[in-house]
Amino acid sequence: MTNIAILGMGLMGKEMALKLFSHHYPLITYNRTEAKLIPLKQAGIETTNNPEGAIAEANCLILMLTNAKAIEEVLLASKPNLTDKTIIQMGTIAPDESKSIQTKINQLGGDYFEAPVLGSIPQVKIGTLLVMVGGNERQFQQWNGLLKNFSPQPMLIGEVGTAAALKLALNQLIAGLTVTFALSLKFIQKQGVKTEQFIEILRESALYAPTFEKKLPRMCDHNYDNPNFPTKHLLKDVDLFLTQAEELGLNTTSLEAIRQVVSQAVELGLSDGDYSALFEVI
């Protein structure tokens, strides 16, 4: 039987734990901030604030930690024996970071692959996340059934690092689309064009992206509470993308400007709000 530990109970980690628990997987959850475990404990899920205990109990570890540094601190600092354990990294980290973590986990006897996701809390609940796998065919086939709890069709992208790269490329688009939409929206409002007319024209054009309509009510209401993806996480991902892109010699001028907007939203105290809060900077 597969005993699963999920390390990291942020917005997505919590919902993923509830999803697996509803499908009767043997499960233990860990988080560094113990208060985030309370809703899971109330749901009947085993919880712990001791990572070593969670690691020892499980033969499959799902990582939903904030960043690579957190993975190092929670999973690797104590140099645990990971023999016969599979580690699935499902958060957003850089390709180079994922490869480095793979090497360290392999040295500790573990089997590692990455499976970052695109989507947010609503998609977790109904199992329609886009799951991108960076690993080998054996790992993909062995764990495809588990990943299908989150996605109807997980995709094998390539070796470790490729899925992490694809995830960062997609999250870079989140920042770019949101900032440029917010700018156009505020521009037409200042010019006296009705928002409804703007959206109607946009919806019928090749420029339309569904995210525009999803974020429009938040921007119009200036309500960024209960985020599916907070601004601080978008800033982290933009920084990761910039570092990797600069190492590849890409021209990142446009993204550097967008990063300033995201950073200013954080400075305005909107760090924990939905990333549509970038509209406030515009």
- Cβ distance 116 to 163 under 8 Å? yes
Q: What is the pLDDT of residue 2?
A: 82
Residues 134 and 269 in one domain: no
Q: Do 120 and 176 fall within a single domain?
A: no
Secondary structure of the chain: what % helix, strand, coil (to 5)?
Answer: 55, 15, 30
Domain shared by 79 and 171, yes or no: no
Instruction: Note whether 27 and 75 are same-domain residues.
Output: yes
The pTM of the full predicted model, rounded to 2 decimals, is 0.94
Does residue 218 sit in the same domain as residue 268? Answer: yes
DSSP alpha helix (H) spans, the chain: 11-22, 38-42, 51-57, 68-71, 95-107, 121-126, 137-147, 162-190, 195-203, 210-221, 231-247, 253-265, 278-281
Domain housing 21: 4-159
Full pLDDT tens readout for the chain, 282 residues: 689 999 999 999 999 999 999 999 999 999 988 899 999 999 999 999 999 999 999 999 999 999 999 999 999 999 999 999 999 999 999 999 999 999 999 999 999 999 999 999 999 999 999 999 999 999 999 999 999 999 999 999 999 999 999 999 999 999 999 999 999 999 999 999 999 999 999 999 999 999 999 999 999 999 999 999 999 999 999 999 999 999 999 999 999 999 999 999 999 999 999 999 999 999
Crossing angle of helices 253-265 and 231-247, in 10° steps, is 160
pLDDT at 166: 98
CB 16 within 8 A of CB 65: no
Task: Tell whether 275 and 240 lie within a shared domain.
Answer: yes
Residue 260: CB atoms within 10 A of its CB come to 12
CATH for 194: 1.10.1040.10
Q: Which of 110, 135, 159 is the last residue of a domain?
A: 159
**Does residue 39 sit in the same domain as residue 114?**
yes
The verdict on 146 and 178 lying in the same domain is no
Q: At what angle do helices 95-107 and 162-190 cross, to 10 degrees?
A: 150
Domain count, the chain: 2
Pair 153, 81 in one domain = yes
